[in-house]
Amino acid sequence: MSDPAKAPAKDPQRAALAVERLRTEFRIDGAWHAAVDDISFSIARRETLALVGESGCGKSMTALSVMGLVPRPQGRIAAGRILLDGADLVKLPEPALEKLRGTRVAMIFQEPMTSLNPVMTIGAQVAESLTVHQGLSRRAAEAKALAVLDEVKIPSAARRFHEYPHQFSGGMRQRVMIAMAIACQPAVLLADEPTTALDVTIQAQVLGLLADLRERHGMAMLFITHNLGVVAQIADRVAVMYAGQIVEQAPVAAIFASPAHLYTRALFAAIPRLDLPDQALAAIPGRVPPLDAMPTGCRFAPRCPMVQAGCEQPQVLAPVQVSMSAGHSARCHVATGYRVAA
């Protein structure tokens, strides 16, 4: 049987972003342990890939690896390639990465209240990247920053240009974060749970804004979330992540119609349904294993209700993905019917 994860991502030279067999490790008690373990995916321009899973599964660390922001010396990218327009970011020195961050690849970080500088005006924070990366004068940078704030629909942007983050609501702060990320028109946008803690109405506005900006600027977007409802609204494809591995990938319609991996099914089962007033809320027992205590074989096996003989074998740990349909694969021998040799 072929092993798709050992092959390069599909058409990596044509993708805006292609991640190939990425492994990011952290040192714990003198030994290296993988927080991101041998994952591969690619994103085309004007496409959104949603990366979903519980907290602690490695979603944010995947984005930080792409940005070259893995904290050192306790962390490192141990293997794999990250191709941005065909260039391998893993091999670039730090000065070259600094030039790319905010220009060719940008990131919307979690929780804008802590990500924004509380002692700088929002206008100055948006203009800063234009000054640094595009060499604009202060006046030119402020003029362009104001245009970007208008583009992300900050009401009365000219008046609020000189206000501070604490004077903005959560939704408006998130728009400021988006403005900072798109100011230099990046080819790839990494959005790390940009709708967390927003109410449903503001969440819908932010999702609509991101989709509009993606089309207008031709960006590829990696959208990190644990909210499957958000995924349905914005994503073209979905990658489900568990314990540092991508356990299922599929087009968004396919994964909602027929989730294959038992972990993906458990995530869907945990979503409350408005049409079942007497339902009992479902939960996934246990927790995501720590980096230094990963199970052998399938990492979801200790929590899986359909665990069978063979799930604990090391062969399951290897990145063998069995095709379910066109573009739909899962790392689960129970769901796919793949027999693991004894």
The pTM of this model reads 0.89
Q: What is the pLDDT of residues 189-204, one digit of tens each?
A: 999 998 877 888 888 8
- DSSP element (H, E) containing 335: helix 333-336
- Cα separation, 26 vs 18, in Å, equals 23
- Provide the CB-side half-sphere exposure for 16 (13 A, CA): 22
- Cα separation, 140 vs 258, in Å, equals 51
Model pLDDT, residue 321: 56
Crossing angle for the helix pair 138-151 and 122-134, to the nearest 10 degrees: 120
Residues of the chain predicted below pLDDT 70? 1-13, 314-325, 336-342
Domain spans of the chain, in order of start: 4-104+186-336
Model pLDDT, residue 307: 86
Helices (H), 161-244: 170-182, 200-217, 228-234
- Cα separation, 310 vs 297, in Å, equals 8
Model pLDDT, residue 10: 46
Q: How many CB atoms lie within 10 A of CB 10?
A: 14
Model pLDDT, residue 197: 72
- Cα separation, 298 vs 28, in Å, equals 22
Model pLDDT, residue 173: 92
Q: Tokens 């990320």, residue? A: 181
CATH number of 4-104+186-336: 3.40.50.300
Angle at 18 between CA 68 and CA 192, to 5 degrees: 55
